[in-house]
Structure 1
C-alpha cells in the first residue's frame, strides 16, 4: 500500500528530494531546468486556457440563470482552489510504494515526488487522473446540464490548473520510446529500457 508523506514547503534544494538510483542507460527528459521559470511559464499559459473555458461556460449557460445564481458560480472557484491539495493526493495514490507531497507556493507549484519507476501508460494516467476528476468530468456534466453552473466553473477553473500535468504528459508521449519506463530523480523525469522487456505494471 502506498505511503503518502506530506513534506510541506520545498526548500529549493533538489538534492533533498527523495530519489532512488539511476537506471542503466537512463535518459533525462528534455524539459525546463529552472523551477521558477517553469512555474512562471506554465501559470502564464494557464490564464488564456482558463479564459477559454470560462467563455464556454458563459456561452453555454443562460445569462439570467448565471445572474440569479452568481454566488454558486463563485463557489465553484473556491472549491477548485481547495481541491489543489486533494489533486496532489490523487497523484500520490497512483504510486505503489511511497509518494512525497511538496508545496512551492512562491512559484505557484504543488508537486508529488515518488522514487519508483512506471510505464508510460501509468505515468499518463497518474498525471491526468485528478484533472479528469476535478476538471473534465464536472465540465462535461455542465455541458450536458447547463443548469449546474457550479460544476461548470469548478471544471473551467480546475482544468487550466493542471497545466503542469499536461506538460509532463506531453513530454512522456513525445519522448518515451515504446516499452520504456520512467521515474523521477530530483525534479526531473528520466526514461530507460528495462532489462526485462516483459515487465508490466
Structure 2
C-alpha cells in the first residue's frame, strides 16, 4: 500500500483518482454525492451516539466526571486520522487520503477492486479497533468511563462505513468484486 496525502477535497467527485469501469459493472444504490452521504451519515451517527451514550451512562454513570467526558471526547477526536489509516492499510496498491471539512469528513479512496469480504473488513476495521473494543472494555470496567465515551463516539463516527457495509452485503451477489469510481461504489462479476 502506498498512501498519498491529497489535502482538501474540492467536492468534485470527478477529481478523485479512479480506474476504468469494469464490463457489466453495476452502481451501488446509494447517495449520489458527498453532501447527501454526509447528511445521511451524520444523521445516523447522531442517533447511534445518543443510544450508545445512554447505555454508557446507565452502565457507568456513577463514575462520570468532567475528566472522563473530556478524555473520551479527546480520544475520539485523536483517532480521526488513525481511523482512516486503518482503512488505508487494507488496500494493496495506491490509496489517497482527503479532508472534506465542509461536510465534516476525512476519507480514503483507492482505485483498486476488492472482494466483498475484504471491502466489509476494510470498512469495519477502524470501528472495531477504535470503537467497539474500548466500548466493550468500558462496559466490563465502568470505572474507566472515558472508554465508554470514546467507544460510543468512535462507533457513531463510523456511520458512513456501516452504510457501505450494508450496501455491499445487500447488493453484491456472492463472488462479486467492488471498486470506487469517483465518489460511488460499483460491483461486477469477474470473468
* TM-score calculated relative to the size of structure 2: 0.97
> Which residue number corresponds to residue 15 of structure 2?
16
> Which residue number corresponds to residue 199 of structure 1?
none
> Which residue number corresponds to residue 186 of structure 1?
182
> Which residue number corresponds to residue 116 of structure 2?
120
Shift of 1:77: 0.6
> Which residue number corresponds to residue 34 of structure 1?
33
Is 1:66 the equivalent of 2:64?
Answer: yes
> Which residue number corresponds to residue 164 of structure 2?
168
Q: Deviations over 1:119-148 (max 9, x none)?
A: 000000000000001100110111111111
> CA separation in 1, counterparts of 2:190 and 2:56?
45
Q: Deviations over 1:10-69 (max 9, x none)?
A: 012222111111111111111111211221222122112111111111110152x224xx
> CA separation in 1, counterparts of 2:76 and 2:89?
20
Is 1:104 the equivalent of 2:100?
Answer: yes
Please show how residues 148-163 of structure 1 align to structure 2 within 5 Å.
148-163=144-159
Work out the number of aligned pairs and report it: 191
Q: Secondary structure at the match of 1:61?
A: helix
Cα RMSD for the two superposed structures: 1.0
Shift of 1:149: 1.0
Q: Deviations over 1:42-99 (max 9, x none)?
A: 2122112111111111110152x224xx312211111101211111111011000110
> Which residue number corresponds to residue 80 of structure 2?
84
Shift of 1:8: 1.0
Mark the runs of 5 or more structure 1 residues left unpaired by the alignment.
196-201
Mark the runs of 5 or more structure 2 residues left unpaired by the alignment.
none
Worse-matched range after superposition: 117-126 or 5-14: 5-14
> Which residue number corresponds to residue 45 of structure 2?
46
Q: Deviations over 1:143-181 (max 9, x none)?
A: 111111121111011000000000000000000000000
